[in-house]
Chains A and B, each alone.
Chain A
Amino acid sequence: MIASTATHPAAPGTDADGVLEVRDLAKYFAKGDQDLVALREFSITVRPGQFLVLLGRSGCGKSTLLNLMAGLTRPTAGQILYRGTAMSGPSTEIGYLTQHDTLMPWRDVTRNVEMPRELRGEGKKSRRKEAQRLIELVGLKGFEHHFPRELSGGMRRRASLARMLASDPETLLLDEPFGALDAQLRTELQGELLRLWQGTGRTVVFVTHDIEEALLLADRVVVLGPVGSVLLDVDVDLNRPRDPDEVRVDSRFVALHKSLSAALKEGAR
């Protein structure tokens, strides 16, 4: 199943170096008289078409960072450039799958998935058709008219994924998308995601706390420590497709696994 979406070449006249450029980003949350520092002096450049995995333990500011990248929240300091221009709010070019499900509980699967196109003003017939295609893509055929509460956690995740894809974003931000799923389903959806990404020119920023998942998916892994400090930034030069069972015994995989694991431990101290 290869996504029918056309490739998204870098817009002319922009900095071809990075789709997303994050410079000296900081985010504080007011907490009484004090500020809680969630993120500090964070910089990164995400290259077009790159599959970047942000790896970090919980509480290190990963979700905060993605909220900022998606334009949902404003940074306390620093800036984010998307294709060379400073972000001023959410954009349909960026799809964001948040850590927690945000399906509308009063809409069934179809009406949830078609929602981005509905808001865009697309006609009912064509948006229904596209919704149906995406629902089948994520394996929810037969559940079009189920409401979110009638679905399992994994099915809701897949419906959310379909909804995100409905706006046909060129950059995907995914916050621990498969964290709560069973291993089997996880592997399937990882494969699906790779198919959605490969050959489309899409850029992916994928957040996880799972080293193996990072190595299975990434072009590049950035290990985050407390308040978004970069502990390690490595390119993953494993050949694709990476078979989950075979790649585990690859010596480069083992070496990378070791260094990532060490970096995570380093950050914990």
Chain B
Amino acid sequence: MNAVTTADAGAAGLGAAGPLQVQADRGFRAKHGRTTIVWAWRVGLLVALVAVWQVLSGPVLDPQYVSSPQGIWERLAGWTADGTLWTNTWITIQEIVLGFLLGAGAGAVLAYLIAPIRVVWAILDPYVMALYAIPKVALAPLFIVWFGIGTDMKVLLAAVSVFFLVFINTAAGVHQVDSALIDAVRLMNGSRRDIALKVVLPASMTGLLTGLRVSIPYALIGAVIGELVASNRGLGFLISDSSAKFDTDGVFATLLVLSIIAMVLNGLVGLIDARTSRWKPLDA
């Protein structure tokens, strides 16, 4: 690694001002070597797995039960051609997004309204935790009674799962705000509004983002469970419909699509993480 000095950054003002900042001249290997290796292995592993699966299915594995890459591929091609795949995927994606927005919005707003008032929070806390602990699948029958078997019920099932995670994490973020920072604003003669907007809000942002991060997969889970329980559209419906017809290829093809959606959602999570990491831990 060659380092080329560009400026003695610490020379201004008092001596020993700080670290020297130099331009680093790193090659492709130093910068991307590890990432390349990791990706090469990921792709290799996938290809190997698919190849073994394909070779074994037929002679060793019964495609009736575990399908086969070729079968999945043919099913996906068929569904793509007749539009089944896209219409159902689109419905599920809409449910996920709507459910997430609804749950996250409500969770964040309510957390900011309730969490700062300690007494109210203390009163509500056990009830919130009890509701949070209910498996959301258990709500599905009730939601069917209330909202029918349309998309509303799936959206709300996704929203409920997201709501509690965002609400609880945001509230924790609000409660973990360092009181010394609030004191700092009080010393500047800051108003309650200043404290709320310039300390509590940014300080609790990590809690909110944690909530958003962990709840994204639950939006997917909520929507798909809703579809599995009762529906005639969506990826969850495709799974239950295919399995009812002993169509293992169809089940696996849908699972593959769901995994791809999950991976995309995890990618979004990664973006949220990158956004917050610069200032997050002080003295950590």
A residues at B contact (CB < 8 Å): 70, 72, 89-92, 94-96, 98, 100, 102-107, 115-116, 119-120, 136-143, 147-149, 151-152, 155, 158, 167, 182, 184-185, 188-189, 192
Contact = CB atoms under 8 A, between A and B. Distances in A.
A185 B17 CA distance: 9
Contacts of A141: 12-13, 17
A137 B9 CA distance: 16
Q: For chain B, which range describes its interface: under 10, 10 to 19, 20 to 34, or 35 or more residues?
A: 20 to 34
A193 B183 CA distance: 23
A98 B14 contact: no
B281 A149 contact: yes
Interface in B76-102: none
Contact of A104 (B9, B13, B16, B202): B202
Contacts, number: 101
A91 B189 contact: yes
Contacts of B279: 105-107, 147-149
A138 B14 contact: yes
A200 B60 CA distance: 91
**In the A-B complex, the 5 residue pairs with the closest CB atoms:** A139-B13, A139-B14, A141-B12, A102-B184, A105-B282
Interface of B: 9-10, 12-19, 178, 180-181, 183-190, 194, 198-199, 202-203, 205, 278-284
Query: Which of B16, B278, B280 has the largest number of chain A CB atoms within 10 A?
Result: B16
Chain A contact surface mostly:
loop
Contacts of B10: 142
B187 A72 contact: yes
B189 A120 contact: yes
Nearest to A97: B187
Contacts of B280: 105, 149
A92 B180 CA distance: 17
Contact of B187 (A70, A107, A149): A70
A145 to B, nearest CB: 11
Contact of B189 (A92, A155, A188, A192): A92
Contacts of B282: 103, 105, 148-149
Contact of B188 (A100, A119, A143, A147): A119
A109 B202 CA distance: 16
12 contacts: A90-B189, A92-B189, A105-B280, A115-B185, A136-B12, A138-B13, A147-B279, A148-B282, A149-B284, A184-B15, A184-B16, A189-B14
A143 B19 CA distance: 10
Nearest to B10: A142
Contacts of B199: 104
A142 B12 CA distance: 8
Contacts of A106: 202-203, 205, 279
